[in-house]
Amino acid sequence: MTGILSPDIKKLIEKNSRELSEIEGNLLGTSHDGQIRVFFITSCNASEGKTVTAISLAYALSQNARRKVLLIDGNLHTPRLHEIFSIEAGPGLTDLCCGKVRDVERDTELQDLYVITHGSPVENTADLFRSEDFKTALDNLKKNFDYVIVDGCPVIGSSDALVSAKYFDGIILVVECEKTTWEIAETVQNKLKISGGNIIGAVLNKRKYYIPRFLYGKI
């Protein structure tokens, strides 16, 4: 079953294409000779735009930069990739980590973009994310793709993000403008760092006001 990206998300990606190409350039530049290739997308709270950001980055790296990209639904509390790509929910990440199945990557209508859904329900999500099985799964997947992007859950409200933070090459923190304060963003950033996470950048999402580039230096 081939995944088909929802038209709403495609429109959003097109709308934000200018910002996206900057982020894409930064990510390619941050790669340090291919060392930073597994990204984790997280945020402080729910609904700040992690899934949209993860898909947008996967889209930019596969369609614009022509890299082979794997997008994983790593939000076991509110998974959405299967809906957005109109594919069945399983088998997916949890089944792969439990060793139940091997080939869980699905292809999509977009060349070089593959998706792994969240998979069957597990009793304790944090146990799965802190396990060696999860790390091993990521290491194996990394061998077959240029980039692996994990759409995660927020840091506040679940320990999934913190217990797995050290397993990713780079973490991107999505911050919804006008919703999350800098104090909270800073606290979350410190928590991720203490947990061994390598934060490589932040995405300021849902900006209402656009500051023209020529004004940057003047304010």
Ligand X SMILES: Nc1ncnc2c1ncn2[C@@H]1O[C@H](COP(=O)(O)OP(=O)(O)OP(=O)(O)O)[C@@H](O)[C@H]1O
Query: Which stretches of the chain bind Mg ion, using CB under 5 A?
Result: 50-51, 75
Cα distances from 152 to residues 2, 63, 75, 173, 209, in angstroms, run 23, 22, 5, 10, 27
Tell me which of ligand X, Mg ion, none is bound by residue 49, counting a contact when its beta carbon lies within the kind-specific cut-off of 5 to 8 angstroms: ligand X
Task: Give the Cα separation of 76 and 5 in Å (integer).
Answer: 20
Residue span 145-184 as binding mask against ligand X, x where in contact by CB under 6 A, dash where not: ---------x------------------------------
**How is the beta sheet containing 113-116 ordered, strand by strand?**
106-107, 113-116, 69-73, 147-151, 38-43, 170-176, 199-205
Q: Which of residues 77-116 bind ligand X (CB under 6 A)?
A: 78, 80
Q: Which of 21, 26, 47, 190 binds ligand X (CB under 6 A)?
A: 47
Tell me which of Mg ion, ligand X, none is bound by residue 154, counting a contact when its beta carbon lies within the kind-specific cut-off of 5 to 8 angstroms: ligand X
In the chain, count H helices and then E strands.
9, 7
Is 125 among the residues that bind ligand X (CB under 6 A)?
no
Asked if 23 contacts 53 with a C-beta cutoff of 8 angstroms, the reply is: no
Residues 6+ apart with CB under 8 A from 140: none
Q: Which of 27, 51, 60, 91 binds ligand X (CB under 6 A)?
A: 51
Q: Choose between 89 and 136: whose C-beta lies nearer to ligand X.
A: 89
Is 21 among the residues that bind ligand X (CB under 6 A)?
no
Q: Choose between 55 and 200: whose C-beta lies nearer to ligand X.
A: 55
Is 74 among the residues that bind ligand X (CB under 6 A)?
no
CA Rg value for the chain: 17
Q: Choose between 45 and 136: whose C-beta lies nearer to Mg ion.
A: 45
